[in-house]
Amino acid sequence: MRSQVGMPPDNHVHTHWSWDTAESSTMRRACEKAIALGLPAIAFTEHLDFTVWDPDDRATDEGLVDRHASRHAEIDVAGYAAELAEVRDRFPELRIWSGVETGEPHLFQSSVAAYLRDAPVDRVLGSLHSLSKDGRLYGVGHLLWEDAEGTMRRYLGELVDMIETSDVFQILAHVDFPRRYWPGTSRRYVEKTFEEEYRAVFRALATTGRALEVNTSSPLASVDQVRWFHEEGGEAVSFGSDAHQPAAVGQRFHLAVDIVEAAGFRPGRDPFDFWRR
């Protein structure tokens, strides 16, 4: 199928090299889906999460000892690289980027830097999936049950800290990740309740010129939310399906494109670029 005008790259895709993704989720199948949708490019951003950390990491300074109920596992760097080379060879019509989704990069600066020294990538996403409690890191879904609104405010506050103290990532992934697990279904989540906190995150991100991701696995951002980013000076928007199976690559991108456009952003310099103000 010919490339559709205006369809952006999918900058956030997982395959079986991520610890939470099935063996059947291969790069080849994800590329086939991207091509069928007319996407110009795809980034394989596997989870880079640490369960042990360097003495130099802030997680150590903060006295964190472990992750609660952790299934996190390391990326097989050699296996990942071999499959990436194979699909780049097989699908020359698709631009295929390497990548990682760094979890809590501000807490693991030294560990992330060491990883990327040995295995540099094209795309680095910054994600906050967990918050600390009593010396352990807990997935936010776990914390929401105690205090949803308080956890959300803490989450957005921690994002400002993450943006200000880590420059390793180019794209801020799923800015309101906890809404996926909102008690009583995500439809009860009201963005407006947290407008000031969102705006603080967007200001911090805009100051650094980095891209905000519209994540299409999460409940979709409203036009208002993306416009807050625009109003705070945001320069770039990235689209990410956060697919954990090939069928989800590029999911709901038509809707996401409409939202981002209505908020004041346009396609960038070329089909591979972020969307820009």
Which of 127, 130, 170, 238 contacts Zn ion by CB under 5 A?
Answer: 127
What is the closest distance, in whole angstroms, from the C-beta atom of residue 196 to Zn ion in the complex?
24
Residue 249 is encoded by which pair of tokens?
A: 């690559």
CA R_g for the chain: 18
Stretch of 24-32, 74-82, 95-103, 227-235 lying at the interface with Zn ion (CB under 5 A):
95-103
Q: CB nearer to Zn ion: give 158 or 242.
A: 242
Q: Cα dihedral angle (108, 109, 110, 112), rounded to 10 degrees?
A: 80
Amino acid (1-letter code) at residue 1: M
Which of 10, 46, 49, 101 contacts Zn ion by CB under 5 A?
Answer: 101
The rounded distance, in Å, linking the Cα atoms of 256 and 131 is 28
Quick one: which of 124, 121, 153, 123 has its CA closest to 140? 153
The rounded distance, in Å, linking the Cα atoms of 149 and 193 is 9
What is the closest distance, in whole angstroms, from the C-beta atom of residue 173 to Zn ion in the complex?
5
The rounded distance, in Å, linking the Cα atoms of 190 and 176 is 11
Build a one-symbol-per-residue string for 241-270: x at contacts with Zn ion by CB under 5 A, - elsewhere: -x----------------------------
Amino acid (1-letter code) at residue 23: E
Stretch of 33-41, 55-63, 124-132, 269-277 lying at the interface with Zn ion (CB under 5 A):
124-132
Q: CB nearer to Zn ion: give 127 or 216.
A: 127
Which 3 state secondary structure label does DSSP give 41? strand
Stretch of 2-10, 96-104, 152-160, 186-194 lying at the interface with Zn ion (CB under 5 A):
96-104
What is the closest distance, in whole angstroms, from the C-beta atom of residue 277 to Zn ion in the complex?
25
C-alpha of 195 from chain center: 21
Q: Residue 131 forms beta bridges with which residues?
A: 138
Residue 154 is encoded by which pair of tokens?
A: 């803490």
Stretch of 2-10, 58-66, 127-135, 228-236 lying at the interface with Zn ion (CB under 5 A):
127-135
Residue 218 found at the interface with Zn ion (CB under 5 A): no
What is the closest distance, in whole angstroms, from the C-beta atom of residue 93 to Zn ion in the complex?
25
Q: CB nearer to Zn ion: give 244 or 277.
A: 244
| Residues in contact with 96: Cβ distance below 8 Å, sequence separation at least 6, in sequence order | 27, 31, 41, 42, 43, 44, 84, 87, 88
Interacting residue ranges for Zn ion, rule: CB under 5 A: 101, 127, 242
